[in-house]
Amino acid sequence: MSNDILVIAEHLDGRIADISFEMVGKARELAAALGGQVIVLALGSGLQAQAGGFASHTTLYLDDPLLAHYNPQAYQQVIAALAAAHSPRLIMLGYTSIGMDVAAWLSVKTGRPCIAYVNDIAVEQDAIVTRSQLYGGKMSAESATRADSLIVTLMAGAFAADAGRGATPIQPIAAPVPLAGLRTRFTGLLKPEAGDVDITTQEKLVAVGRGVGGEDGVALATELAEALGAVVAASRPVTDAGWLPKTRQVGKSGLTVRPKLYLMLGISGAPEHLEGMKDAELIIAINSDENAPIFNVAHYGATQDLFEVAEALLEAL
C-alpha cells in the first residue's frame, strides 16, 4: 500500500461539484502528513477543462459517453480497479447520493473499512483519525484506524472548497474494465418542479423548520419575510408535512441556495440541510435549543423562543 490519497470527483449537469474541491483541499493536508500524493479520479464526458482545475498532484480523467451521467455499476467497477492498481492509503468520497452508493459497495468488494458522515479528519501518529456527525448532528463519534487502506465519505461544507482549486494537467486514462454491456443505464434526471418562486435566485430567505410547529408558524414567518423583502424557504420536515411546497425545500434532497441573508426559524441544522445553504453570506439562527448544531455554522444566533423573536423583529421593522 502507498500513502497516496485517491479522491473521487463528482459532477452533475456537466459541472464539477464543490464537494470535490473540498475533499482535494483537505487531502493535500493529509497527504503532506502521510508523505504521499493526492490523486483525483474524474469520470465523465466532455469535462476535460474542469477536470484540470484541481490542486492535486495527479488528476486521472476517464472520458466516455457512458460516464456523462452517474452510473453506479460503471463507477463501482472502475474505482475498484483503479484502487487495486494504485493501492491508496485513503479513498475519499463525498457523503452524497453518489458517495453513499459507491462507498459501501467498494468497502465490501475490496475489504477496506469505511467510515461515513465525516466532518473532520487528521493524521495522528500514523493513524487516520476521523470525527463523524451522527443523528442530525446530535452526536459526534471519533474513530482512529491504522488500516492499510481506508474509505471515508465526507460531509459537504465541512472543508473549504478554494483550497482544492488549482491547475493540474489531466492524465487521460482508458477504462480499466469494459463499460459496454452494463446492466445499469442512465435514463434521465428528475428535478424539482418549478414553483411560484425560484428560491435559488433570492437574495434574502427566511427559512422555517419543524420548530415553527405548523401552518400558523409558517404564516408568521411569511409575514416577517414580507417585511424584510425576503421569501420563505423550508427544511425537509416542513415540506414533508405539507406546510410548504417541495419547491421551497433547501438541502440535499431539495435546492441549493446562496442568498446574502439566510434567517432560520426553528431549524436544528441537520447535515442534509446545511449542504443546501452553507454558502449563504450571512446566516442567522433562532432556536431555543442551545445545543442545536446550526449554531456551529451560524454567524449570529439567539437561543430564544422563535415566535417571540419573530414578533419582536416585525415590531422593529
Whether residue 137 has pLDDT greater than 70: no
70 Cβ neighbours under 8 A, 6+ residues apart:
10, 12, 98, 186
Residue (of 38, 6, 8, 31) closest to 20 by Cα position? 8
Amino acid at 277: M
Specify the CATH superfamily of domain 199-316: TPP-binding domain (3.40.50.1220)
Q: How far is CA 135 from CA 25, 140, 172, in A?
A: 26, 9, 40
Could you tell me which CATH number the domain at 5-172 has?
A: 3.40.50.620
Q: 127, 89 in Cβ contact below 8 A? A: no
Greatest alpha-carbon span in the chain:
66
Residue (of 215, 253, 224, 222) closest to 236 by Cα position? 253
Fold matches, 5-172 and 199-316: yes
Identify the weakest region by mean pLDDT among 50-64, 103-117, 167-181, 248-262: 248-262
More confidently predicted of 223 and 193: 223
Q: 60, 173 in Cβ contact below 8 A? A: yes
- Give the pLDDT band of residue 276 (cuts 50, 70, 90): confident
The mean pLDDT of 89-101, rounded to a whole number, is 94
Whether residue 260 has pLDDT greater than 90: yes
Q: 295, 301 in Cβ contact below 8 A? A: yes
Using only the alpha carbons of the chain, give its radius of gyration.
21
Dig out the grid coordinates for 219 from the structure: 404564516
Whether residue 200 has pLDDT greater than 80: yes
Q: Would you list the domain boundaries of the chain?
A: 5-172, 199-316
Instruction: Write down the mean pLDDT value for the chain.
Output: 92
Sign of CA dihedral 28, 34, 39, 41: negative
40-44: long-range contacts, CB 8 A cutoff, minimum separation 24: 40/7, 40/9, 40/168, 41/6, 41/7, 41/8, 41/9, 41/79, 41/82, 42/9, 42/11, 42/16, 42/170, 43/9, 43/67, 43/74, 43/75, 43/78, 44/11, 44/68
φ/ψ of residue 301, rounded to 5: -160, 160
The pTM of the full predicted model, rounded to 2 decimals, is 0.75
Amino acid at 177: V
Res 202: pLDDT: 92
